């Protein structure tokens, strides 16, 4: 059996004459937790709907275990979806909601009762079977929605911003819980979010999407540490992104100052985007720094200080465990390893998107 459970092969979809997905390719491996991450309107839900069978692509194929299922109706696909808004049936109890799909499949009442017990335990909702959905909190309703999907034993679970309607604290609890559930049930998860922190925390693999195109794909760590373009860098956490000139291998000019870096292969005197994460910049005395600037603000953020330093018209953001004196001229340093050099976007499209 191949490790690839689902494949989107060159999918294109237009709405109202506008390209939403164009030549879109995706492979899901068995038991993976993959996240589609991207801004609103980039085509994440459309991708899930195509996999679920609710939207038909204009061209391209959906392959499940190597079989073409592009024209198969949703109920014939071994895939279940959990949506952002808890879509529980309001006139049924929690247990009846969970049993719904199993009854359609004509499972025995013993089988159904066992499954309900198992699923409620899995989502930490033991004893809630007799309750009505409207008597539950948002987080509890979403747990039931997940339980209802899981009892059908789908091979792939599609989750479209399932925690989007929850407050931050509950979101964090549910993130941990979903990881636990994923480990326990051993199915493939395709998760959609526009919350980068959530994606970084939960996923085996992340696909960063913009305008229906995958910008970068990889592990949380590789995407965070090695963004391939300014869009990804900007979208994944706060970053300093500034114009630079790659003078030659291992040397980049930023704000007129030559600074050692570790990148090669950009040629000589090539305009580039330079990305430096706030936690990688260090405030030092003005004599010691590569760059000099004035501290414009210092805000304590709980675990660190967020310091802004204005230098040559650019406001650098720095995260540091030490505060800095507002109004004072300071120096900034960065280790060569922590400077990311990226090609300038090839098309105007990418540039526009970056400013959104």
Ligand X SMILES: Nc1ncnc2c1ncn2[C@@H]1O[C@H](COP(=O)(O)OP(=O)(O)OP(=O)(O)O)[C@@H](O)[C@H]1O
Min. distance of Cβ 112 from ligand X in angstroms? Answer: 33
Exactly one of 7, 35, 45, 255 binds Mg ion (CB under 5 A); which one?
Answer: 45
Give the per-residue contact string, 270-289, with ligand X (x = CB under 6 A; - = no): --------------------
Query: Which residue is nearest to Mg ion, using beta carbons?
Result: 45
Query: Could you give the angle at the alpha carbon of 206 between the alpha carbons of 201 and 212, nearest 5°?
Result: 135
Counting every residue written for the chain, the total comes to 356
Q: What are the residues whose beta carbons fall under 8 Å from the beta carbon of 300, sequence distance 6 or more?
A: 306, 323
- Furthest-apart CA pair in the chain: how many Å? 78
* Residue placing its CB nearer to Mg ion in the complex, 13 or 115: 13
Query: Among Mg ion, ligand X, none, what does residue 20 contact (CB within 5–8 Å per kind)?
Result: ligand X
Q: How far is CA 261 from CA 235, 250, 289, 343, in A?
A: 23, 5, 15, 15
Rounded least distance, CB 47 to ligand X, Å? 7
46 near Mg ion, judged by CB under 5 A: no
Rounded Cα distance, 260 and 78, in Å:
53
* Least Å from the CB of residue 45 to ligand X: 3
* Residue 22 contacts ligand X per CB under 6 A: no
**Contact between 194 and ligand X (CB under 6 A)?**
yes
Q: Which is nearer to Mg ion, 194 or 308 (CB)?
A: 194
**Residue 40 binding result from ligand X, Mg ion, none, given CB thresholds of 5 to 8 Å by partner type:** ligand X
Look up residue 60 and give its two tokens: 């391209």
Using CB under 6 A as the binding criterion, the count of chain residues that bind ligand X stands at 12
Of the residues 42, 147, 163, 341, which one makes contact with ligand X according to CB under 6 A: 42
Exposed (0-12), middle (13-18) or buried (19+): which is 205, by Cβ within 10 Å?
middle
Measured distance CA(142)–CA(84) in Å, rounded: 8
How far apart are the C-alpha atoms of 84 and 160, rounded to whole Å?
6
Q: For residue 110, what is the DSSP state?
A: H
Given candidates 24, 28, 34, 44, which one binds ligand X under the rule CB under 6 A? 44
Residues that bind ligand X in the complex, under the rule CB under 6 A? 15-16, 20, 38, 40-46, 194
């Amino acid at each position: 059996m191949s490790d690839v459970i689902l494949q989107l092969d060159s999918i294109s979809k237009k709405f109202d004459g506008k390209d939403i997905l164009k030549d879109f390719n995706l492979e899901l491996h068995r038991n993976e937790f993959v996240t589609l991450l991207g801004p609103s309107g980039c085509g994440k839900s459309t991708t899930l709907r195509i996999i679920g069978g609710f939207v038909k692509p204009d061209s391209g194929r959906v392959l499940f275990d190597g079989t073409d299922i592009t024209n198969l109706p949703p109920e014939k696909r071994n895939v279940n979806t959990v949506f952002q808004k808890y879509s529980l049936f309001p006139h049924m109890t929690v247990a009846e909601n969970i049993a719904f799909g199993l009854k359609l499949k004509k499972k025995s009442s013993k089988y159904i009762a066992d499954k309900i017990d198992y699923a409620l335990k899995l989502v930490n909702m033991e004893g809630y079977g007799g309750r009505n959905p409207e008597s539950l909190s948002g987080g509890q309703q979403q747990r039931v929605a997940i339980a209802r999907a899981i009892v059908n034993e789908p091979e792939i679970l599609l989750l479209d911003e399932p925690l989007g309607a929850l407050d931050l604290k509950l979101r964090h609890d549910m993130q941990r819980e979903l990881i636990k559930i994923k480990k326990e049930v051993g199915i493939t998860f395709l998760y959609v979010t526009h919350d980068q922190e959530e994606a970084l925390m939960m996923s085996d693999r992340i696909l960063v999407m913009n305008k229906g195109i995958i910008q970068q794909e990889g592990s949380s760590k590789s995407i965070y540490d090695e963004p391939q373009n300014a869009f990804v860098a900007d979208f994944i956490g706060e970053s300093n992104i500034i114009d630079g000139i790659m003078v030659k291998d291992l040397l980049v000019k930023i704000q007129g100052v030559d600074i050692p870096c570790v990148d090669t292969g950009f040629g000589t005197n090539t305009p580039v985007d330079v990305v430096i994460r706030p936690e990688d910049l260090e405030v030092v005395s003005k004599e010691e720094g590569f760059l000099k600037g004035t501290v414009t603000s210092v805000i304590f953020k709980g675990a660190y200080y967020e310091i802004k330093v204005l230098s040559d018209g650019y406001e650098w953001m720095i995260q540091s465990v030490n505060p800095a004196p507002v109004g004072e001229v300071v120096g900034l340093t960065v280790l060569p390893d922590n400077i990311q050099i990226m090609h300038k976007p090839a098309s105007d499209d990418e540039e526009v998107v970056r400013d959104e």
